[in-house]
Structure 1
Amino acid sequence: MIMAYSIAINFEDGVTRFIEARADETVADASYRLGINIPLDCRDGACGTCKCRVESGRYDGGSYIEDALTEEEAASGLALACQMRPESDLVLAIPASSALCKTAGQSFATVLRGVERLSETSIAFTLDAPAGLTFLPGQYVNLRVPGTDERRSYSFSSAPGAPTLSFLVRDIPRGRMSTWLREGAEPGMPMEFTGPAGSFYLRDVKRPLLFLAGGTGLAPFLSMLGKLAETGAVQPVHLVYGVTNEADLVGVAELEAFAARIPAFTFSTCVAAEDSAHPRKGYVTAHVQPVHLHGGEVDVYLCGPPPMVDAVRAWLAAQGVTPANFYYEKFSPSGAVTATGETHRQAA
């Protein structure tokens, strides 16, 4: 029996589509079979038009000429979709928009399972996981606010494959989704979303990880930790979770449960407010120890508001540390724009 593998194709506009590819067919052939037209001008490994980055998984790179893919490019993780054949599940980054490839984000219908008030400032809600939905830990979806044509973007806090989808959001007094969750939401109500989307997701773990979360930016890390709890983690994983006020500090019990399940995982929390009684005050950078940076041999993942992202980047530069990889997502209560290398998400 010929094996088949799941291939996550992440486009430069943040849209992700999942396809199934047999071990005896190329990724390009599998994508075209399913109507996703990865750019290519040949199928012979001669032009390099279908060059993509392999972010996770094993594959046979096939045959090609040097003009299409150099040895250095292949060694850095680039491959040709028209030649590569999967040997495991794969995650690919395609340097083209989903529209150019004749595809788009998928739409799903589901129902609200429940809403939970976590604190004065935070709400969690769950949806039934619709059939056919697959996502990468750390990604988000665009949910339609019931009764409107407006959409809001929220990261999964649940791990892929869970029977329910969970989300952690900040309660903004006049936010459209926040208001609906507080005042109108009832279990069993229909909901719609498109996705998954986003380039902020857990890659193959090849070195120590440092997670930095600000406020409800904790959500994608809960999804990542859920995945790591399933697969196991050999490399050390440390999370620093910072909030403005103690009332914003939620999800700690979940983090403690993950620490019990994942021996390599540790975490600390901090509160920025000076009048807080929390034992660790200040911003997350004040609580990152040199041992967590591993001399730069570390992959840093950061999710928080824009000022936090900018501050962490400046702080790393001041430490003279350049991490092996730095993945980050900015979110803001106003606007939802996706750009290469970062994602701006709407919070309310």
Structure 2
Amino acid sequence: MTTYNVALNFEDGVTRVIQCDEDEKVTDAAFRQKINLPMDCRDGVCGTCKCFAEKGEYELEFYMDESMSDEEAEEGYVLTCQMTPESDCVLRVPASSAVCKTAPEAVEAEVLGVDNLSETSFGLRVKLAKPIGFLPGQYVNVTVPGTGKHRSYSFSSAPGAVEATFLIRNLPGGVMSSYLGEQAKAGDSVTLTGPMGAFYLRPIERAQLWLAGGTGLAPFLSMLEQVAEQGSDQAITLYYAVTRAADLVELERLKTVATKVGNVTVITILAAEDDAHERKGFVTDHVTVEDLNDGDCDVYLCGPPPMVDAVRDHFGKVGVEPANFYFEKFNPTEVEEEAT
């Protein structure tokens, strides 16, 4: 019997991946795995279990107009009590994980090694007690050994692997940075809780413009790994913006995966005036109307809040709005704690 993975992305950003048999309704599979999706009638009548299918093939059985219109079904809405998957799927659930009696999953991991990629970034490699089902672009909370604290990082590795990798900014005095730079050793135990976040790769149906600021490259590495595996005929343009040349880490890996995909253009930008480079300044100095494909493109951005705000303003200045704009703003936790 064939079994499919169905990612349930709850409105609070928590994602749980369940296994659903080819002849099993999604609601039943979720309940079997102790997740109570909103439900009342189980007969396609009430509409309580209505979700939005962002990805995947499936069959819908009976539903009444009062529960879901044919127009909604054509748009991608489903009733999980009447939905049988025919491929891996991603469902957006209009309820919190707590309401559905679930929570982020905690998975133990063993530190395999820490790579000093530059003065400003580390690479963390861990071996998972079991693979974590996540959507490429999402993050987990990683415990910092000996501190009772955790920090949030996006996966830079592909979903479903036994080993996971993270690209982490070296923040002087930071809890995780101090651990990675001074104490970490192979065999240390950490706990990963998640996955979480609404920043993840949707089905690629048009040209892609990806904008990475510094260690914001991490989720795009994960995304590219999945595209390399699944394939895509759409062009992907990735701008990778950092301060100095030394901050351009993971370039070899990035270029290797991009070559596997085959239709990826990687553009690097440096902000520091005293570093020689083909492109200087900020992303907004270089993103063109052509990059935006007259609006027929999806834009993904992972970077600090000022970068997100500047790119949004840039759309207005050039007079082009993308079909979709997905972004992840990040601030070091230490900065957020100081501000509160």
Measured against the shorter chain, the TM-score band is over 0.9
Q: Give the aligned residue type for 2:120.
A: T
What CA deviation, in whole Å up to 9, does each residue of 1:238-281 have, x standing for no partner? 10011123332212112221232221111101012233212101
Higher mean Cα deviation, 62-71 or 219-228? 62-71
Q: Distance in 2 between matches of 1:214 and 1:275?
A: 19
Is the 8 Å Cα contact of residues 130 and 162 (structure 2) preserved in structure 1?
no
1:137 equivalent to 2:136? Answer yes
Shift of 1:85: 1.0
Contact 2:289 2:318 in 1 (8 A): no
- For structure 1, which segment, 92-101 or 20-29, has the greater mean C-alpha deviation from structure 2 after superposition? 20-29
> Which is further off, 2-11 or 167-176?
2-11
The corresponding residue for 1:293 is: 292
State percent identity of aligned pairs.
Answer: 54
Q: Judge conservation of contact 1:238–1:267 (CA < 8 Å) in 2.
A: yes
Which position in structure 1 is the counterpart of 2:117? 118
- Residue 336 of structure 1 and its aligned partner are, at CA, apart by 10
Contact 2:11–2:95 under 8 Å retained in 1: yes
- Aligned residue type for 1:40: M
**Which structure 2 residues correspond to residues 60-99 of structure 1 after superposition, within 5 A?**
60-99=59-98
SS at match of 2:291: helix
Partner of 2:254 in structure 1? 255
Counterpart for residue 99 of structure 2: 100
Residue 52 (structure 1) aligns with: 51
Structure 1 gaps, min length 5: 338-348
| Structure 2 residue runs without a partner (length 5+) | none
Q: Give, in whole Å, the separation in 1 of the partners of 2:197 and 2:204.
A: 19
User: Residues 131 and 161 of structure 2 are in contact (CA less than 8 Å); yes or no, is this contact kept in structure 1?
Assistant: no
Aligned to 2:161: 162
Please report the RMSD computed on the Cα atoms of aligned residues, expressed in angstroms: 1.7
Structure 1 residue 29 corresponds to structure 2 residue 63: no
Shift of 1:3: 2.1
Q: In structure 2, give the amino acid aligned to 1:15.
A: V
Q: AA paired with 1:238?
A: T
Residue in structure 1 matched with residue 304 of structure 2 by the alignment: 305
Would you say the 8 A contact 1:258–1:265 is kept in 2? no
Q: CA deviation at 1:217?
A: 0.4
Q: Is the 8 A contact 1:153 1:336 kept in 2?
A: no
Distance 1:278 1:63 in 2: 60
1:341 matched to which residue of 2?
none
- Read off the aligned partner of 2:311 and give its amino acid letter: V
CA contact (8 A) 1:14 1:199 kept: yes
Shift of 1:156: 0.6
Measured against aligned partners, the alpha-carbon deviations of 1:25-57 in whole angstroms (never above 9, x if no partner) come to: 211111111110011222122222211111110
Moved more, 179-188 or 250-259: 250-259
- Which residue number corresponds to residue 204 of structure 1? 203
- SS of equivalent residue, structure 1 residue 313: helix
TM-score (normalised: structure 1): 0.93
Kindly report which structure 2 residues correspond to 1:261-276, keeping only aligned pairs within 5 A, or say none: 261-276=260-275
Runs of 4+ in 1 over 6 A off after TM superposition: none
Task: Give the distance between the partners of 2:262 and 2:253, measured in 1 at CA.
Answer: 15
Q: Which residue of 1 aligns with 2:241?
A: 242
- SS of 1:128 mapped into structure 2: strand
Higher mean C-alpha deviation, range 264-273 or range 326-335: 326-335
Give the Cα separation in 2 of the matches to 1:53 and 1:191.
34
Q: How many residues align?
A: 337
Instruction: Give, in whole Å, the separation in 1 of the partners of 2:95 and 2:125.
Output: 33
In the TM superposition, what is the alpha-carbon distance from 1:75 to its structure 2 partner?
Answer: 2.0
Could you report, residue by residue, the CA deviation over 1:285-340 in whole angstroms, capped at 9, with x for unpaired residues?
A: 22223332111111111101111111111111222222222111111013799xxx
Report which stretch shifted further, 228-237 or 210-219. Answer: 228-237
In the alignment, the residues of structure 2 paired with residue 259 and residue 322 of structure 1 have an alpha-carbon distance, to the nearest angstrom, of 26
Q: Secondary structure at the match of 1:73?
A: helix
8 Å contact 1:60–1:87 — kept in the other structure? Answer: yes
What is the CA–CA distance in structure 2 between the aligned matches of 1:275 and 1:313, rounded to whole Å?
28
Aligned to 1:344: none
Structure 2 distance, partners of 1:248, 1:74, is: 47
1:74 match: secondary structure: helix
Mean CA deviation greater in 213-222 or 198-207: 198-207
CA distance in 1, matches of 2:21, 2:258: 37
8 Å CA contact retained: 1:127, 1:166: yes
CA distance in 2 between partners of 1:316 and 1:76 (Å): 27
CA contact 1:38–1:50 (8 Å) conserved in 2: yes
Name the aligned partner's letter for residue 257 of structure 1.
T
More off after superposition, 207-216 vs 273-282: 273-282
Contact 1:19–1:31, Cα closer than 8 Å, also in 2? yes
Question: Which residue of structure 2 aligns with residue 8 of structure 1?
Answer: 7
Q: 189-198 vs 313-322, which deviates more?
A: 313-322
How do residues 314-325 of structure 1 correspond to structure 2 at under 5 angstroms?
314-325=313-324
